[in-house]
């Protein structure tokens, strides 16, 4: 899929991995819709990028706001051809301790945003892509979702986050098979430890220790590296139904 001249939707596009992806796709010539809850950051990014970048406030768990964002992206020159889902939240808590069991509400919230929200964007974006005229190869669109190495190496206290990201990884192949006849590809990126707002609040020594735990390169991942992989997935037609770890060979310890 050509980035140049395509419409793109980036859910969670106002910061972190999503922001880097917005910048990469926009630089590549896509008309990008930035979908995020954070109005201040999202609008600021759209204003900075200028022509070819639009912001819309979106809650990925809400079908109405996601539909509005999809319609806006579909109205871009070339139609909606690229969808990237980066919206996500984290929660840390053990399943059971002396003071009681893991709270149910945060578990449900993490599943709702990370897994149901990703599916919500995927299903609505794919439905819009069905309306696209196929390229010479028959391709109509590409959907890139975001899992995590926690889907495979979940740590103590990551039960909610790991379950949500394992769900995203698990739906990749059936989604790709489901949409193959329409010429829509689906891939997932499973990042390791990246420089994102989720880690920004940690003390610098903790961040350095996390980076040192990565075999090579021994540092935190850069959002631009995620964005470059997302762009490569878009461009490489043979990538389909795959979950790609982007982690510097990291395998997370139990804690």
Neighbouring C-beta atoms of residue 61, cutoff 10 Å: 16
- Domains of the chain: residue spans and CATH: 7-246 (3.40.50.720)
Return d(Cα 207, Cα 205) in angstroms, integer.
5
Are residues 254 and 48 in contact, defined by beta-carbon separation less than 8 angstroms? no
Give the three-state DSSP class for 248. coil
| pLDDT above 90 (res 8) | yes
Find out whether 97 and 58 touch, Cβ atoms under 8 Å.
Answer: no
pTM equals 0.96
Question: Per the omega criterion (within 30 degrees of 0), is the bond before 217 cis?
Answer: yes
Residues 6+ apart with CB under 8 A from 35: 9, 10, 11, 12, 13, 42, 55, 56, 57, 58, 60, 66, 69, 87, 121
> pLDDT (tens digit, 9 = 90+) per residue, 117-136?
999 999 999 999 999 999 99
Return the pLDDT at 14.
97
Average pLDDT over the chain reads 96
Residues tagged active-site: 161
- 41/19 Cα distance (integer angstroms): 10
């Amino acid at each position: 899929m050509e980035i140049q001249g395509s419409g793109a939707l980036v859910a969670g596009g106002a910061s972190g991995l999503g922001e880097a992806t917005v910048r990469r796709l926009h630089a590549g010539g896509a008309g990008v819709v930035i979908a995020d809850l954070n109005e201040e950051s999202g609008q600021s990014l759209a204003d900075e990028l200028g022509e070819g970048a639009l912001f819309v406030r979106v809650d990925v768990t809400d079908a109405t706001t996601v539909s509005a964002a999809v319609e806006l992206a579909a109205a871009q020159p070339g139609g909606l051809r690229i969808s990237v889902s980066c919206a996500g939240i984290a929660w840390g808590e053990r399943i059971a301790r002396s003071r009681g069991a893991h709270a149910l509400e945060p578990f449900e919230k993490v599943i709702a945003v990370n897994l149901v929200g990703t599916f919500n964007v995927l299903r609505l974006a794919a439905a819009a892509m069905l309306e696209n005229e196929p390229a010479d190869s028959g391709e109509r669109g590409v959907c890139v979702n975001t899992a995590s190495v926690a889907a495979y190496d979940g740590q103590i206290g990551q039960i909610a986050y790991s379950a949500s990201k394992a769900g995203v990884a698990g739906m990749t192949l059936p989604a790709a098979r489901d949409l193959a006849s329409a010429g829509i590809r689906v891939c997932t990126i499973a990042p390791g430890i990246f420089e994102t707002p989720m880690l920004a609040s940690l003390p610098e020594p903790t961040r350095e220790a996390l980076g040192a735990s990565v075999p090579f390169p021994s540092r935190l991942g850069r959002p631009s590296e995620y964005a470059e992989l997302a762009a490569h997935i878009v461009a490489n037609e043979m990538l389909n139904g795959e979950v790609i770890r982007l982690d510097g060979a990291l395998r997370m310890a139990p804690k």
